Structure 1
Amino acid sequence: MKRTFHLLFFILLMTSCSKTDIDNDHGFYYWRSKLILTENEQQLLNNSKAPNLYTRFFDVVKENDQFLEVGVISIDKDLSINKKIVPVIFITNETWFNIQPNDIELMADQINEHINRIKSNNNLDLANEIQIDSDWTTSTKVDYFKFLQTLKRVSKKNVTCTLRLHQVKDKLQTGIPPVEKMYLMCYATSSPLENQKQNSILDVKTLKSYLKHLDDYPIKLDVALPIYSWGIVTNHVGKKKLINALTAEELMQNKNFRKINDNNFEVLKDDFYFGMYLNKGFKIKVEEIPEKDILESINFINEKLDYKPLLIYYHLDERFTKNYNTLFQ
């Protein structure tokens, strides 16, 4: 009995320590096409200590040498939140291929004008910040960095940007952007379209390998962490496609899917599912992130840095947030 009591006390102590150690402030990304919040999402947002909601406004792609703004967000007319909004603009890496100096100026002007138009049309309270999300490479870094400087001059705002894992590991090749703060994206540790056993959204072992020398990175970082899921569909010849935001729970509730094991399912009937036509016999691997993996990642990052970064969870959607009780305490 005494031994059992000691064991129970040890387990409770370890559980308590794991929660107490994570005392970083947190906030959220918002990545849906319309900015509208449920009651639960509103409460989670209001309870977070971050002053901002990081909201994807639109994407920028290049087609026929023209810069197009696609997937522009719409705003709920009754939106009422107690946070400022940081516009996040995703720009494909291909946009920087063979770009000319006058194009950089033009694109910076267009993006700034469109952000201001969304602000005025919806009476939004924007932070003095624009965040750019672009997976730049060694060959595109010069033009991308020029763009960041140009947008800062044009907008007269603090321009920040995202940082991917490989850009930390290979910083000598990919370069350091000319910004004062960056957002480290601790997800997409591998490609979901390759055959592999590990979770492609977040594999902690892979994360630690990429961030081995994180403490050497010269710019202040906040940290983006994944709380989303997806399904990887494999057809009869091995080709793969993604179904975003798919959960194992959704498949288990549908009689047209058979559970093979913990996160693998088989399609039992030809039909349209989740916006995609799936044939009988197709396999689906659902990738979701256990809370313990996120906590381990946070502890690792906190040990690497001499400050507590803000944690920004990707993204604010109650389909996912309901699964992470410890993170939002």
Structure 2
Amino acid sequence: MHNIRGLLIFVCFLFGCKQKAVVHPTFYFWKTNYQNNAVESSYLERFKSKSLYLRIMDVDYNPDLQQATPVSPIKFSDPLPHGVEVIPVVFIVNQVFHKLDATQRAALAGRIATFVAAKVKQGGKQSFKELQIDCDWTKTTRDSYFDFLQQLKAHPLLHGKSLSVTLRLHQVKNISLSGIPPVEKAMLMCYNMGNLRKYGEQNSILDQHEMDLYLQDYLQNYPLKLDVALPIFDWAVVFRNREYAGISKRISKMQIEDKHLFRQRGNSILYDLLINYPAAGLKRGDVVRWEEISSADLQQSARFLSRNLKPEERTLAFYHLDANLLKHYTDEDYQKIIANF
């Protein structure tokens, strides 16, 4: 028995055996109206999700009012699911932190804490245990943003609650410039990592090369506890005269495959529009880059992250909970992705 144990230790040393992390799968809910959807609810049940990340609102700077204001706050047509903890999420446009002084940051923290608490109760929950702030901060907004987080943590309505933030790839690699946010943990956002506005065949949602470049030598040593978010969404990126023209919400997978509407360029993800399409605001000759993520792509990313993250208990959140997106993957696909952690 002693020899067997010694052999196992030697094999682990030789091949780099690593303890598997305990993973809790769940979703982000990123719509502006919460409605009970049977398909979406079934996924929370199937995944035995203990929590749901719920977008409460965006916050942007209003130049007319000279202050940060809420944008498209969530409404509730139905109560939030019973038996699932809600983690409210507030997205703040980075530019806001260029505009606010210390007094205004403290006021914003107070307004957000009050607004979130009221919205959670409006959705049928008495309280919450964690609040997440989503902001792609930069070197120039770092100090202002971190001060805001400190103000938020100190607010009486957040007493006894934890505060988390979202984390982008560049903030992991460039830690000397980005700093370490003063919170308990962060959600590593593994999507929207390419150059969306650049014309070409690159997939801006998920790019394993970018993950290698920004995370390979840096992720293991990141000092905060990390959860992970992976994409299950797709979108149509429109270019006119090779210039970025926006994302069309009117173009679906079914339409992109309609040969009367689009012609695919070989096996690429670029499609030429063959006719004027006023319903989608598009013109003949516009080019659509159809970006989607395969199960194999997600499994590859999961394996990479598993190798480079510390082996600890974490949440794996798929972005986002939508019946039309969920069906792009089978139950087996989801299980394989989760198992790779």
TM-score with structure 2 length normalisation? 0.84
Q: 2: distance between equivalents of 1:244 and 1:180?
A: 36
Residue by residue over 1:265-311, the C-alpha shift from the partner in whole angstroms, topping out at 9 and shown as x without a partner, is 222332334xx411112111100011111111111111112325321
Q: 2: distance between equivalents of 1:244 and 1:22?
A: 37
Amino acid in the other structure paired with 2:53: Y
* Kept in 1: contact 2:165–2:187 (CA 8 A): yes
Aligned to 1:282: 286
2:221 paired with 1:216: yes
* Kept in 2: contact 1:185–1:225 (CA 8 A): yes
Aligned to 1:16: none
Aligned to 1:88: 89
Residues 1:188 and 1:235: Cα distance change in structure 2 (over 3 Å): same
* Kept in 2: contact 1:183–1:222 (CA 8 A): yes
Q: Where does the alignment leave 5 or more consecutive residues of structure 2 unmatched?
A: 1-19, 336-341
Displacement of 1:254 after TM fit? 7.6
Q: How does 1:103-182 map to 2 (within 5 A)?
A: 103-154=104-155, 155-156=158-159, 157-182=161-186
* Kept in 1: contact 2:80–2:123 (CA 8 A): no
Which of 263, 266, 273 in structure 1 is aligned with 2:272? Answer: 266
Aligned to 1:205: 209
Aligned to 1:51: 50
* Kept in 2: contact 1:42–1:81 (CA 8 A): no
Displacement of 1:241 after TM fit? 1.5
Residue by residue over 1:18-66, the C-alpha shift from the partner in whole angstroms, topping out at 9 and shown as x without a partner, is xxx8973311001111112421111001222331100111000012221
Residue by residue over 1:192-224, the C-alpha shift from the partner in whole angstroms, topping out at 9 and shown as x without a partner, is 111233211101111111102200100000001
Residue by residue over 1:134-154, the C-alpha shift from the partner in whole angstroms, topping out at 9 and shown as x without a partner, is 011111111111111111111
Residues 1:144 and 1:138: Cα distance change in structure 2 (over 3 Å): same
Which of 188, 193, 198 in structure 2 is aligned with 1:194? Answer: 198
TM-score with structure 1 length normalisation? 0.87
Tell me how large the CA RMSD over aligned residues is. 2.1
Amino acid in the other structure paired with 1:167: Q
Residues 1:264 and 1:104: Cα distance change in structure 2 (over 3 Å): same
Displacement of 1:248 after TM fit? 2.6
Q: 1: distance between equivalents of 2:35 and 2:278?
A: 27
Amino acid in the other structure paired with 2:310: D
* Kept in 2: contact 1:22–1:299 (CA 8 A): no
Q: 2: distance between equivalents of 1:257 and 1:264?
A: 10
Q: 1: distance between equivalents of 2:250 and 2:298?
A: 18
Displacement of 1:245 after TM fit? 8.4
* Kept in 2: contact 1:165–1:207 (CA 8 A): yes
* Kept in 2: contact 1:86–1:126 (CA 8 A): no
Q: 2: distance between equivalents of 1:247 and 1:125?
A: 38
Q: 2: distance between equivalents of 1:133 and 1:70?
A: 14
Q: 2: distance between equivalents of 1:224 and 1:289?
A: 14
Residues 1:108 and 1:327: Cα distance change in structure 2 (over 3 Å): farther
Residues 1:292 and 1:23: Cα distance change in structure 2 (over 3 Å): farther
Displacement of 1:226 after TM fit? 0.7
- Give the SS at the match of 2:150: helix
- Give the SS at the match of 2:209: helix
* Kept in 1: contact 2:88–2:120 (CA 8 A): no
Which of 239, 244, 248 in structure 2 is aligned with 1:243? Answer: 248
Q: How many residues were matched structurally?
A: 307
Residues 1:230 and 1:216: Cα distance change in structure 2 (over 3 Å): same
Aligned to 2:338: none
Q: 2: distance between equivalents of 1:266 and 1:277?
A: 15
2:38 paired with 1:33: no
Displacement of 1:125 after TM fit? 4.8
- Give the SS at the match of 1:40: helix
Residues 1:173 and 1:71: Cα distance change in structure 2 (over 3 Å): same
* Kept in 2: contact 1:31–1:315 (CA 8 A): yes
Q: 2: distance between equivalents of 1:126 and 1:272?
A: 46
Residues 1:183 and 1:78: Cα distance change in structure 2 (over 3 Å): closer
- Give the SS at the match of 1:42: helix
Amino acid in the other structure paired with 2:305: I
Which of 295, 300, 316 in structure 2 is aligned with 1:296? Answer: 300
Q: Where does the alignment leave 5 or more consecutive residues of structure 1 unmatched?
A: 1-20
Aligned to 2:6: none
Residues 1:215 and 1:38: Cα distance change in structure 2 (over 3 Å): same
- Give the SS at the match of 1:310: strand
* Kept in 2: contact 1:52–1:127 (CA 8 A): no
- Give the SS at the match of 1:25: strand
Q: 2: distance between equivalents of 1:244 and 1:73?
A: 19
